[in-house]
Amino acid sequence: MSKSDSKVIVVTSGKGGVGKTTTSAAIGAELANRGYKTVVVDFDIGLRNLDLIMGCERRVIFDFVNVIQNDANLSQALIKDKRNEKLFILPASQTRDKDALTQEGVEQVLTELRKTFQYIVCDSPAGIERGALMALYFADEAVIVTNPEVSSVRDSDRIIGVLNSKTKRAEQNLDIPKHLLLTRYAKNRVLKGEMLSVEDVQEILAIPLLGIIPESPAVLSASNSGVPVTLGAPSDARTAYEQAISRLLGQEVITKEKGWTTKLLEGLGLMNRSPA
């Protein structure tokens, strides 16, 4: 596989606790479900959580930092998912400092991954510290995960600024396609004025909407059981992630469902209703 055939997608946010790692796992698993060879890379050095959500924490022997520091090769550190042969995880170190990530080391690992994988999903730490900057720097596309709250949206706006100025593509005067994924969206709380509306968030961030993930017990259940949402039982959250990933792949989304999220997305021009 040539480098041009692969794509690095960073999943990022300004604020922690918005569902970024859950989203990284869901995107990676669904891309693999659709036949793409995919690896999800945990950039959150010191706070490793991706392996827990992917259900492979007991299988971590070597990690991302071990590969960068030549303590192990890439094939030793990669963990193959037991449920899908096209899905792999590169875990983060739980004992090292974020300074263990160097730009040269990260580039070397990503270059090697590009030879084998069609999609490389980078699970970025929140904020703009070193681990996050390393995850953002080499991205071809970015999924910005945001809750409909002022602080989360404000911090995401800052991340957009970083993507536009401190990445390899920015240095080459190239744009990074950016997608907004709104998580933990609760219609009743929006109506009460306790959350920002989709339109409010879009007005502030001014990037295309990829999807709306409703607040759902399925998300917490999936995380606690080590099963990505898109590999779990049918749920509103799983459907929302599947539709978002279709949009990420440039595919038209058609549904017969008549739930409130469908109506909302139809109103925003992101959904086509199939004939009855």
Mean pLDDT, range 1-25, rounded to an integer: 86
**Quick one: pLDDT band at residue 260, thresholds 50, 70, 90?**
low
Q: Please tell me which of 10-19, 34-43, 213-222, 245-254 the model is most confident about, judged by mean pLDDT.
A: 34-43
CA distance 103 to 88: 22
Residue 144 burial class via C-beta count within 10 angstroms: exposed 0-12, middle 13-18, buried 19 and up: buried
Torsion angle of the four alpha carbons 268, 150, 185, 190, in this order, in degrees rounded to the nearest 10: -80
The whole-model pTM stands at 0.90
Q: Give the up-direction half-sphere exposure of residue 74: CA atoms within 13 A in the CB hemisphere.
A: 15
Torsion angle of the four alpha carbons 184, 186, 187, 189, in this order, in degrees rounded to the nearest 10: -130
> Number of helices (H) and strands (E), helices first, in the chain?
13, 10
Write phi, then psi, for 216 (nearest 5 degrees).
Answer: -150, 135
Q: How far is CA 8 from CA 39, 136, 203, 235, in A?
A: 10, 10, 27, 28
